[in-house]
Structure 1
Amino acid sequence: MRGNTSRVTTRRVRAAVSAAAAVCAVTAALPGAAAAEPAGAAGGAAVGVERISVAPDGTQGDGGSTAASITPDGRHVVFASAARNLTPDGAASGSAVFVRDREAAQTKRMGAYTPLDPPAISGDGAYVGYSLQWFNDVRIRQYQVRTGGTASADCSAYSCNQPSLNADGRYTALALLIRKPSPANRQRVEVHDWNTGAKVTVASFEHTYPARPSISGDGRYVAYQDGGAKDVFVWDRTTGTSSGPVEGPSTAATLLQLSDDGSTVVYLSGTDTYVHDLRTGTSRPVPNVRGVAVDPTGRHLLYAPNDAGGPSLVLRDLETGTDQVVSDRPATAGTDAVSTGGREVVFQSAADDIVPGDTNGTSDVFVRRLF
């Protein structure tokens, strides 16, 4: 992201922001021993599971790793970790944010700050953003992965968090907590254009419940929730207006994710998950499951069954109704956890038998390639 938006003019300027603000180290190639199946490059990897949170020599991380997202092509994974051995320079005290390039077998550290929310990554893997504590406020900092160049969102008089990046990182949807002037304790959802410095208000609320903004790949649509009313809406940049609630006026809903192509909104209601098609205006239920993420096309839903005793994460093809087990060990995942077509899923687990030699006694980040 940018610092003061008046100083932001083009993406060329963005790319030239000083890398000295955040030194990012690159690791060596990941040995095949770190995966249960040969890992190879993204797009050509074998079916199986690959541990992402590894040191430069391929050994396991010496701290817990969580909160991961994967790019649509499956190449880049962003995650948070307290491990200090993932890059040669080590992590700062506490947790830090890392990006794993699976094709190049390289890991970079994105700054030395502890993320307050799960980190977000642009669809092309070029930019990473996350919220962090900045004195008495919360700021969002965005990094260019290649150079380490960085700047902060302009959150003067506000705290801002919950970033969602579009495909090329130009647009970021975020939530701002209005701290001053009076009246305080209000919230606004905005979209920042880091090429032009423009900021557009999507919605304003008289409360501070999480808005969970989720932006489409082209930056045209933003799904968000009114946490007070428990309604889900979709904003369209071309009209500057929001439609909804998508779930109907009598249903309490929690937003999960907007698909990257902007066609599908997934939300939770009661014990069920609902998939809403914005083109037809219809929703269909996926009963008795807790949705976790949707792939960029909206076709594949990652979910956790509500029934105990089964697998912890399952991927469903919503067109065919077929399920594939992602993890039969205790595991969790976040939004943007599924690559295009449901080919790969990123998740975190403290189980010690997902890959050989897992003895660190803490959570690790894994990618399961399904086909």
Structure 2
Amino acid sequence: MVSRGYDGSPANGRSYHPTISSDGLYVVFASDASNLLPGDTNGRSDVFSYDRLTCTLTLISVAADGVTFGNGDSVAPAVTSDGRYVAFQSAARNLLSAAVSTTWAIFLRDTQTNETVIISVAPDGSAADAQSRLPAISADGRYIAYQSQATNLTNDEDTIIYDIFLFDRDTNETIRVSNSYDGGMPFGQSERAAISADGRYVAYDSVAPNIIPDDTNSFMDVFVYDRTTGQTKRVSVSSSGAQNSGTSSNPALTADGQYITFSASGSLQTGYGGPYNVYLHDQLNGQTIQISLPMSNTQAGAESGGSVLSSDGNYVVYSSYANSLVHGDTNGATDIFRYDRTTGVTARLSLTETGAQANDGTFTPRVSANGELLTYWSKASNLVGGDTNSVEDVFLVNAPLLPPSAPVNLAATSPTNTQIDLTWQESGYNETHFQIERAPNGVDWVQIDTAPANATSYTNGGLSCNTLYSYRVRAFNSDNNQASAYSNAVTIRTQPCAPVQAGPIFTVNQTADGSDDTCSSDHCTLREAIIAANNYVTGRPTVIIPAGTYTLSLTGQNEDAAQSGDLDVLNSMTIRGAGVASTLIDGGAVDRIFHYLPNVTSTLSDLTIQNGYVEGTNNAGGALLADSGVALTIEHVHMRGNTAALGGAIGVGSATVTITESTFFDNT
């Protein structure tokens, strides 16, 4: 904990708004406490800088005499990469010898020369005529960006809404960054500036509709101003360039300005999460990706925001109330997370010294350039020992980025036609578990399970016979859930399928739909053939469907015996037509066509399935649905014009479906 009393006791007031220098040596924050330094009797919030090497605290918002505390609140610090310069927002009137603004103003403190200057001033040096807030500073301290309602900071400002301004300390010039695309005034407020390390790029959010042409979404957007070109572009857009259908705000930039993160609701990307997610936009390729991703295809269900980046953009740190971003998040509070863009791993960093969950929320993270050192504020009392003040404190976390070593010598054997056994050698010591991934084609990898720490083997059962599977394994360690590189990949085929005892052949000879529970050489509808095959108990029957169009007309949903509605397959069987151009099964848009009930093994081949329909917003598979445990092979099948809310052609519920030489068209 950084915000302690000068005698080591807990702070007697809240501490917040932390930030950290790029090198990680200085943590700067605001505090209402009066016992961080002796002589603090102003009853105001002050800004302090903590030196990690010397473990000393320095007052930043100090009066002009170099001793007295400011006589007004000072908050929202921003620090240069080496910690020398600190910009902050203050309502104090005694920080300079000369009179300053009577409202919030932006100041800059040089910790080497112990000099403080005001940044938010008019071109003639007079005080700003309205408040200025939330500074951001370039790495060397030359440029300071901030928001202000003042009308006299530039010669062309005439509104009292918040605009974004950029001050150049070398030239003592202030320019307005939040301009309309024609150089005029924006028609709405602009706030929350962020700046790249060299001061070239300034990001901000704005509700103004005329920052760029064709801004018609009527929502707050995020923009980036290029000081070199004088151009502004909107970055809160999808990868295709489409504008957002919700609010975008709170930008952050990498050192070079290539990557921008921000919070957004709306439709920037089809994904999973709460009402607000964290996104990253790449200025070079225009791609926008979602960062606050849950572990699986479930809704995160809560907001994520307050993002910052490492210098190179590989790590994104943010806060979130969601409980589905990592395993074991049950504290019901906002936590701090770090997303590794290289490994795709999200780790929770706001944990106690023993790795337990915080007992209260954690907020406004800031990170060092390499993403390893993190500061944030929290009211949690269990993050460190002796935190008994029951108020917000500032914390510093060292979260090393070293991942565990990758497992080696992955090998596979298949003792049966439904099982593959994996073995590997552990090359590290600090993993908490292993992640097992499988791909049916060596490309589309999916996590199938985990193995505990120190494990060297895994058994994958329930597989299809005579089928190729590829596997790879990687380790996660106990230090914030970091991922190793992957092991070598192995590919193996399960044992050949056991011979299937042939059953009877049921040949359809009626194109009309109907059912009297008999299938004979004189009269056998498609439905009657399926029912007959369902009732056969020895061997695997085959249903032959000659050329023709077979239209299902018997309605009756939610019936699982093929008597009406869809054709329910309860038994393992083969269903074969005369070819995709010859045998057509038409659902008549009244129900799904085939429903494979759990644990059947079946082959469907040489026919066309069309016009299947299943109603309801949570249903899938207008052509067919395969339930849990089904092993279905589809060969030479054409599916067209089938409709369902969650997938028009095929719905799969933990089934294995193998498709070869088949086509899908116009399924919705």
TM-score normalised to structure 2 length: 0.45
Alignment partner for residue 315 of structure 1, among 335, 338, 342? 338
Q: Cα–Cα, structure 1 residues 184 and 301, in superposed 2: closer, same or farther, change >3 Å?
A: same
Pairwise CA distance, 1:342: 1.8
CA pair 56-187 structure 1, distance change in 2 beyond 3 A? closer
User: 1:197: which partner in 2?
Assistant: 172
- For 1:98-121, what per-residue CA distance to the aligned partner results, in whole angstroms no more than 9, with x for missing partners? 010111211101123454652111
CA contact (8 A) 2:204 2:222 kept: yes
Aligned counterparts of 1:116 and 1:206: Cα–Cα separation in 2: 29
Per the alignment, residue 227 of structure 1 pairs with: 207
1:75 aligns with 2:25: yes
Summarize deviations over 1:260-317 as a string: whole Å, max 9, x none: 2312111111122110111211110124451322222222112233425357112111
Structure 1 counterpart SS, 2:362: coil
| Residue 242 of structure 1 pairs with residue 246 of structure 2 | no
User: 1:176-195 deviations in whole A, cap 9, x for unaligned?
Assistant: 21357995323332211112
Displacement of 1:203 in angstroms is: 1.6
Q: Distance in 1 between matches of 2:198 and 2:220?
A: 26
Does residue 296 in structure 1 map to residue 311 in structure 2? Answer: yes
Could you tell me how far apart the structure 2 residues matched to 1:224 and 1:188 are? 10
| Aligned residue number for residue 148 of structure 1 | 114
CA contact (8 A) 1:186 1:206 kept: no
> Do the aligned residues in 1 keep the contact of 2:22 with 2:80 (CA within 8 Å)?
no
| Deviations 1:30-55, CA, capped at 9 Å, x for gaps | xxxxxxxxxxxxxxxxxxxxx10123
Distance in 2, Cα, partners of 1:119 & 1:258: 17
Where does residue 76 of structure 2 map in the other structure? 118
Secondary structure of the structure 2 residue equivalent to 1:213: strand
What are the equivalent positions in structure 2 for 1:1-371 lying under 5 Å apart?
A: 51-90=1-40, 92-111=42-61, 112-113=69-70, 114-115=72-73, 117-133=75-91, 136-153=102-119, 154-155=121-122, 156-179=128-151, 184-204=159-179, 206=186, 209-228=189-208, 229-247=219-237, 248-251=242-245, 252-270=247-265, 271-286=276-291, 287=293, 288=300, 290-292=304-306, 293-308=308-323, 309-310=330-331, 312-327=335-350, 328-329=357-358, 330-334=360-364, 337-371=366-400
CA distance in 2, matches of 1:68, 1:54: 14
8 Å CA contact 2:22, 2:369 repeated in 1: yes
Conservation of the 8 A alpha-carbon contact between 1:85 and 1:91: no
State the AA in 2 paired with 1:295.
S
CA distance in 1, matches of 2:157, 2:81: 38
| Distance in 1 between residues matched to 2:391 and 2:148, nearest whole Å | 33
- Aligned residues of 1:70 and 1:76 also touching (Cα < 8 A): yes
Q: Distance in 2 between matches of 1:367 and 1:198?
A: 36
**Contact 1:186–1:207 (CA<8 Å) still a contact in 2?**
no
Distance 1:343 1:183 in 2: 44
Task: Give the drift of 1:61.
Answer: 1.7
* Alpha-carbon distance in 2 for matches of 1:143, 1:253: 32
> Quick one: structure 1 residues 147 and 54, their matched pair in 2 at CA, closer, same or farther if it must change by over 3 Å?
farther
Give, in whole Å, the separation in 2 of the partners of 1:132 and 1:100. 19
The offset of 1:245, in angstroms, is 4.1
1-structure distance, mates of 2:151, 2:60: 28
Cα distance in 1 between the residues matched to 2:73 and 2:283 = 32
Unaligned stretches of 5+ residues in structure 1: 1-50
Q: Residues 164-213 of structure 1: CA distance to partner in whole angstroms, max 9, x if unpaired? A: 00101111011221357995323332211112212222123546635111
2:465 match = none
Q: Percent of pairs identical after alignment?
A: 28
With over 3 angstroms needed to count, the CA separation of the structure-2 counterparts of 1:344 and 1:182, relative to structure 1, is closer
Deviates more, 1:267-276 or 1:206-215: 206-215
| Cα distance in 1, alignment partners of residues 129 and 187 from structure 2 | 17
| Corresponding letter in the other structure for 1:307 | A
The residue matched to 2:339 in structure 1 has which SS? strand
Q: Secondary structure at the match of 2:50?
A: strand
**Conserved 8 A contact 2:236-2:244:** no
Decide whether the 8 Å contact of 2:163 with 2:189 is kept in 1.
no
Question: 1:42: which partner in 2?
Answer: none
**RMSD of aligned residue pairs (Cα, Å):** 2.3
Q: What whole-Å deviation, never above 9, does each CA across 1:303-357 have from its counterpart, x for those lacking one? A: 233425357112111221122221131233326x011222111011122221111
Q: Are the aligned partners of 2:314 and 2:340 in contact in 1 as well (CA < 8 Å)?
A: yes
The count of aligned residue pairs is 320
Secondary structure at 1:186 match in 2: coil
In structure 1, C-alpha distance between the alignment counterparts of 2:24 and 2:225, rounded to whole Å: 28
**Kept after mapping to 1: 8 A contact 2:236/2:248:** no
Bigger drift between 292-301 and 231-240 goes to 292-301
User: Rg bigger for which structure?
Assistant: 2
Conservation of the 8 A alpha-carbon contact between 1:185 and 1:206: no
Give the alignment's TM-score, normalised by structure 1.
Answer: 0.79
Give the 3 Å change call, closer, same or farther, for CA 126–184 of structure 1 in structure 2: same
Which has the higher relative contact order, 1 or 2, with Cα contacts under 8 A spaced 6 or more apart?
1
**CA shift digits 1:139-182 (9 cap, x unpaired):** 11111123431011215334322210010111101122135799
Contact 1:187–1:206 (CA<8 Å) still a contact in 2? no
Preserved contact between residue 144 and residue 150 of structure 1 (Cα < 8 Å): yes
Distance 1:339 1:185 in 2: 36
Q: How far apart in 1 are the matches of 2:16 and 2:47?
A: 10
How far off is 1:63 after superposition? 1.6
What is the CA distance between 1:366 and its match in structure 2?
A: 0.6
- What runs of 5+ residues in structure 2 fail to find an aligned partner? 62-68, 94-100, 123-127, 180-184, 209-218, 266-275, 294-299, 324-329, 351-356, 401-668
Taking a change above 3 Å as real, the CA distance of residues 198 and 184 of structure 1, as seen in their structure-2 partners, is: closer
